[in-house]
Amino acid sequence: MKIYNKITKNLKNLSGVHLHYTGNMFGVGCSVFDEGSIKNIRELKGKKDSAGFVVLISDFKWLEKYNINVPPEMVKILQQYWPGNLTVIFPDTENSFRYVAVDGHVAIRVPQDELLRNYIKQTGSPIISTSVNLSGSHPETDFKTIENKFGSWFDFAVVPQSISWAKGVPSTIIKFDKELELIRESSIKFSQIKCSLKISRILFVCTANICRSPMAEYYFKKLVEENGLNFDVKSAGFLESNQPISENSRLVLLENGIDASAHVSTKINEEVIYGSWLILTMTESHKLGILDKYPNAKLKTFTLSEFSGLKKDIGDPYGMGLKEYRKTYELIKQRCDLIFDKLTK
């Protein structure tokens, strides 16, 4: 079994059954249009049908490419959780995935692992993914065990070099047919998804969540409340939680009719990041800090200036006088106004 740890030109010319890593699990896969290999995978696993086979695509836009209709209510859910460990069942009305559809429906996901997404993009074809195991057995999570026990299954492998063991955490599976339906709950809680369906969260981020990001949060909340819009606005930082807002930030907000005295800082964690639809950071370094730890947040993380169409980071006024805090507030306000207009057009 030839192992590929990076994308090479000849990868797109390979066919047959391959091993891959989704970001949480090792998987058996092939092109979704390779009827022979799909049949082979069923036989290897001892399966009678395609139940449990997930179609992996490289990008949200591929849904339109393959005539998958996305209900308007689901668009923000997909923007928030893809790439990620959420599988969604869609009607395959155009029979685009006839070799793996079950009862006219197909399970689709954009995987977490960047190497796998790039491989799918390079081949130009969605792939199927199913766990490495005999039907009815637990999925294998150790790469060496897979090589020794199942190596004969695979023609090649597309696996990051640093991965020797997988978490073995399956995806949460949902379906939307007039209302949201849970098929299987796993790493992403259904209650969180239901909240995301009702209201989208915008997260502002700075270093300690006591100066800049609270000013952005409370000002943007004011815009949302005054206009009766359906956004949940929060803020967070990289340092420890439970700190009060800085006195000068509190005073500047109060000068503008905003009471933020009850603010308590929050530290960024996985739940905060993946529970947010849009993440806006004060600086480029904040953005890179998030993406270094949570690379799958790439498509929804921007600097405040970047998303507003302006330039320059929002500098930290911590330890400076009230005059500097007022300047910082005006910079934040200017960008928040532009972003608000952008989101409500």
Q: Which of 59, 232, 313, 316 is catalytic?
A: 316
For residue 83, cis peptide bond before it (omega within 30 degrees of 0): yes
Burial of 328: CB neighbours in 10 Å, binned 0-12, 13-18, 19+? buried
Q: How many Å apart are CA 100 and CA 104, to the nearest integer?
A: 9
The CA dihedral of 268, 270, 271, 277, to the nearest 10 degrees, is: 80
Q: How many Å apart are CA 250 and CA 210, to the nearest integer?
A: 9
Active site residue 316: yes
Sign of CA dihedral 19, 68, 170, 8: positive
Q: Which of 30, 92, 113, 212 is catalytic?
A: 212
3-state DSSP assignment of residue 35 = helix
Token duo for residue 334: 């200017």
Find out whether 282 and 209 touch, Cβ atoms under 8 Å.
Answer: no
β-pairing, 2-4 vs 26-31, is unpaired
HSE of 165 in the Cβ direction (CA atoms, 13 Å)?
Answer: 1
Sign of CA dihedral 224, 227, 231, 232: positive
Q: How many Å apart are CA 34 and CA 15, to the nearest integer?
A: 8
Active site residue 206: yes
Q: Which of 30, 117, 206, 335 is catalytic?
A: 206
Q: How many Å apart are CA 85 and CA 107, to the nearest integer?
A: 12
Sign of CA dihedral 156, 159, 161, 163: negative
> For residue 297, is it left (φ>0), alpha (ψ between -120 and 50) or beta?
alpha
H or E segment and range at residue 175: strand 172-177
Q: How many Å apart are CA 146 and CA 26, to the nearest integer?
A: 9
Catalytic annotation, residues? 206, 212, 316
